[in-house]
Amino acid sequence: MSTSQNSTQTDLRPAAASGTLAIGGDLLVHRLGFGAMRITGPGIWREPADHDEAIAVLKAAVELGVTIIDTADSYGPEVSERLIAEALHPYPADLVIATKAGLVRPGPDKWEPDGRPEHLREAVEGSLRRLRLERIDLLQLHRPDPKVPFANQIGTLLELQREGKIRHIGLSNVTVQEIEAARRMATIVSVQNLYNLSDRSAEDVVEYCTRENIAFIPWFPLATGVLAKPGGALARVAERHDALPAQVALAWLLAKSPVILPIPGTSKVTHLKENLEAARLHLSESDLQELQ
């Protein structure tokens, strides 16, 4: 991955309007990425219903200025990573592929943690093959496994980093205490937790990441809850800006902290374009107050 940019071209693409974030100090990405979970089948299971549309979404994301795509070996499982390679390899020099390891799939919509060192190593090796990479720019522990000592899980990723198979290490679905424990063992450059307008239970994690300059990648970023009800705050703000509620939800995340990196996912090119246009939406202080 290279941080070189063609500013004349980039400025014309929607995702570029979100500004940039240097993950780990050296992975420069636009702050509106793409989450590649939903390019798989129903239940995040097996092949997509429309293979060609999935490929088109991935290609369109890059064409529209996305410079980070988030995936995981468990999406499909394995399907999302294979589709990314099929659609985009050889990758553009400025594209970061972030993936995750640590969950296994017994069936559709079912997820189980597996943080055994042997599994994490096997998962990373599999991701390298499927993504056709020599090194993963950002590998995130998908969820700590309570059955395995946390130090063993982080230690395995650190070993893989020292072997040159991982560039940077990130975490997902963690508490502030777990982030601090991991940082005593390794350099942690990103955290990926549930966070959106309607679920702010990770507020303390967002504040910690902002203070420590760690990229925070909210998953399920488009959830809006009661704020989206007719006549509600979200609807009013969206109407004032002639925007969709989902676009306002993404713009709110971008305004919340300079380290927040939303990765909205979709299986449709039309929805992808709508999501990325949120980067051009600038919420006022009064808008933000209304959404609190």
d(CA 89, CA 162): 25
d(CA 272, CA 35): 10
| pLDDT value for 224 | 85
Asked if the model's pLDDT at residue 216 lies above 90, the reply is yes
Confidence of residue 8 (pLDDT cuts 50, 70, 90): very low
The proportion of the chain whose per-residue pLDDT surpasses 70, expressed as a percent, equals 96
Q: Taking residues 210-223, report their average pLDDT.
A: 96
Could you give phi then psi for residue 137, rounded to 5 degrees? -60, -45
CA neighbor of 280 nearest in space, from 61, 11, 1: 11
State pLDDT tens for residues 97-135.
999 999 999 999 999 999 999 999 999 999 999 999 999
Q: Output the CA torsion sign for 8, 34, 56, 267.
A: negative
Catalytic residue, candidates 75, 91, 195, 208:
75
CA neighbor of 54 nearest in space, from 82, 90, 74, 27: 82
Q: Name the amino acid, one letter, at 5.
A: Q
CATH of domain 7-223+259-283: 3.20.20.100
Counting every residue written for the chain, the total comes to 292
With contact defined as beta carbons under 8 Å apart, do 124 and 101 qualify?
A: yes
| pLDDT value for 226 | 80
CA neighbor of 178 nearest in space, from 193, 168, 195, 165: 193
CA neighbor of 225 nearest in space, from 235, 240, 217, 239: 235
The DSSP code for 197 is S
Domain boundaries, the chain: 7-223+259-283
| pLDDT value for 227 | 83
| pLDDT value for 89 | 98
Annotation marks residue 75 as catalytic:
yes
State pLDDT tens for residues 220-236.
999 888 888 888 999 99
| pLDDT value for 9 | 44
Match 């070993």 to its residue by tokens: 159
Before 218, cis peptide (omega within 30)? no
Could you give phi then psi for residue 126, rounded to 5 degrees? -65, -40
With contact defined as beta carbons under 8 Å apart, do 251 and 257 qualify?
A: no
CA neighbor of 150 nearest in space, from 111, 102, 214, 105: 102
Q: Taking residues 83-110, report their average pLDDT.
A: 98
Confidence of residue 286 (pLDDT cuts 50, 70, 90): very high
State pLDDT tens for residues 235-264.
999 999 999 999 999 999 999 999 999 999
Cβ atoms within 10 Å, residue 150:
17
The proportion of the chain whose per-residue pLDDT surpasses 90, expressed as a percent, equals 92
CA torsion 38→39→43→45, rounded to 10°? Answer: -140
Residue 258: Cβ-neighbour burial (10 angstroms; 0-12, 13-18, 19+): middle
| pLDDT value for 223 | 87
Asked if the model's pLDDT at residue 29 lies above 90, the reply is yes
Asked if the model's pLDDT at residue 12 lies above 80, the reply is yes
Helix%, strand%, coil% for the chain, nearest 5: 40, 20, 40
| Mean predicted lDDT score pLDDT of the chain | 95
| pLDDT value for 11 | 58
State pLDDT tens for residues 132-175.
999 999 999 999 999 999 999 999 999 999 999 999 999 999 99
Cβ atoms within 10 Å, residue 2:
9
